[in-house]
Structure 1
Amino acid sequence: MIVLTLVSIIMMPVVGIKQGFFYHEKSVENRERLVNIQQSMKTFIQINGYLPCPDTNGDGQQDRISNLRCRDDQGQLPYLDLQVKANDVYGNPILYAVNTNADNTDILEACTSASLFGHSGQVTNTWQKCDTTDKRFCKLTQCQNACDGTCKHNEVVRQQPPYLHTLTPPRGMTSALNGALRVCGHQADTCKNKTPLSKVDANVVPVVIVSFGPNGQSTWQDCDNAYPEEQLNCNGKRYFNQKPLSDHFRHQLTWLSTPEIKTLINSHW
């Protein structure tokens, strides 16, 4: 009995080390999968001029209402549209969260932050145009503050993607989310609209992709099954947490930014 006890004590650290290596290798493989998804999204928007909506019924394809706005702003990754693997390395679906305005009826308007999800249809954009520079603005006050001449009413009809334009908000590191998403870093105690930008890893982003890690199956069943620091990533809201991997935080995230997307397509129409 004493010998067995000693062997058990000796083996415990060895088992712990092996388990640690296993989780590390899995997390590295999972990170590579997320990077591949991110690259596939870039390719998708370069080809199609828009980003796909979430998959809300688990068939691997994006879901829209009347082929226009997104059916919901969160769901599973539309892996068939993106031509990527259906699940993370742990065999669980991947969360695909998009701009919370993507399910609004004004999704085609360039001055709407969710216009990069615009898929089809005709829209008349109503802008303000500076007569001395020909530069266009979403709001009259924006034009008046930047124009030395006169701001005039300007209408531009758009019938195909991309509906995103260079003036589409949000632009820059603003605290106004405009339906966009926010990922807070490990220094943030909480994540909300007033969280200092110095503690934010990604601000005003249109897309966040989350693998719930080895506990993904139970997390998909009920967000309360996740560890407290992970629950922000599965509660259906626009705020997300990114922390160093640990015994109490197994989620891995990636995202795309609006300025990054604007470089991939012709947004100067």
Structure 2
Amino acid sequence: MTSKVPAYRQAQIAIKRYIEEHQLQPGDLLPSEGQLAKDMGMSRLSLREGVKTLEAVGILEARQGEGLYVKAFTFDSIFENLPYSFATDGKSLRDLLQVRTALEEGLIGMVASKATPDQLGRLEELAQNMMTKAKAGEPFEEEDREFHLTLYGPLENPFVNRLVELFWEVFHRLHGTAGVTHWNIEQTAQDHLNIITALRTGQPAQAANAMQTHFQQIRERLELSGDHLTELAKNRPKKPRGKPN
């Protein structure tokens, strides 16, 4: 037996079909709510619910006192909601790291041929700050985040920057909830300095190798975190059972 399509979902489909059939472009104004409801043969309430969901995913934009407009497509709504689709477990972290590794290792070679001296200088400054903090036993998450975002600036691709930012934020959020592990933070800082050294050669292969080494360190760290949490779970004292009545 086929389940009935909810009214708001029917409204979504009808509105998107209307946009396609009338070849509306970003910034174009849709008819009034009343006219749309009449044309689509549905109640204003159902239409309004469909509009709200399409606003949430960035297809429509309601402007106060003006009406309903087609919105230019962006990945922002996807990026904003993606972090909540990951579970805080080791499998999710490993899966995410695999995608992040493929993205950054695959792009670093292009950076090697495009980075300017000023961009490399900023990256080295960030990496040196990371090393200074590492030697003082201080965290350097902000510098690490800015490093990876600055790294792909030479590509002038906002989509790449948004992806790198998303993967960095989600990974660090999940890794933070997965338990704290001790690792050589000076080695992590050194990895970033090694990436700069490789980039200065202008050789894509050397840059890719330096990035590969960096992510290998992260993978090993992640495995240690998983082993650490497993050991904690095994050694956690069991709660005493209540006495029978």
User: Which category describes the TM-score, using the shorter chain as reference length?
Assistant: under 0.3
TM-score with structure 1 length normalisation?
A: 0.25
Higher relative contact order (CA 8 A, sep 6+): 2
Larger Rg: 2
Q: Decide which structure has greater helix share.
A: 2
